[in-house]
Amino acid sequence: MKRFDRDTYIQIVTSNIKERCSVHEVGHTLGLHHTMKRFDRDSYIQLVMRNINPILLDYFAKVIPTYVEVNGLTYDYGSVMHYDEHCVLDE
């Protein structure tokens, strides 16, 4: 596979990673973005930024509409590309 003009290799070691995480990372390799980065996400979810570890805030930056099209697709709360509510809490 190629992404950004470089070869991309996927090695999945199932002994130390959950299946959902493996599918999520393969999604990135295929060019998928995090669901919660959708430009229209505020119509579907409420992010409490103060609860997110500041180091990880870029994971929640909205992608501009000209870069990603949702083509009328509804927000997929159960997507493997969506973090769960406890994923990046600032603890």
The domain segmentation of the chain, as residue ranges, is: 1-32, 34-91
Helix (H) or strand (E) holding 82: none
61-70 pLDDT, tens digit each: 988 876 666 7
Consult the annotation and say whether 34 binds a ligand. Answer: yes
Q: Is 33 annotated as a binding residue?
A: no
86 is in an annotated binding site: no
pTM of the model: 0.66
- Confidence check: pLDDT of 86 > 70: no
Known catalytic residue at 25: yes
- Distance between CA 29 and CA 31 in Å, rounded? 5
- Of 25, 69, 85, 91, the catalytic one is 25
Residue 88's nearest CA partner among 42, 43, 54 is 54
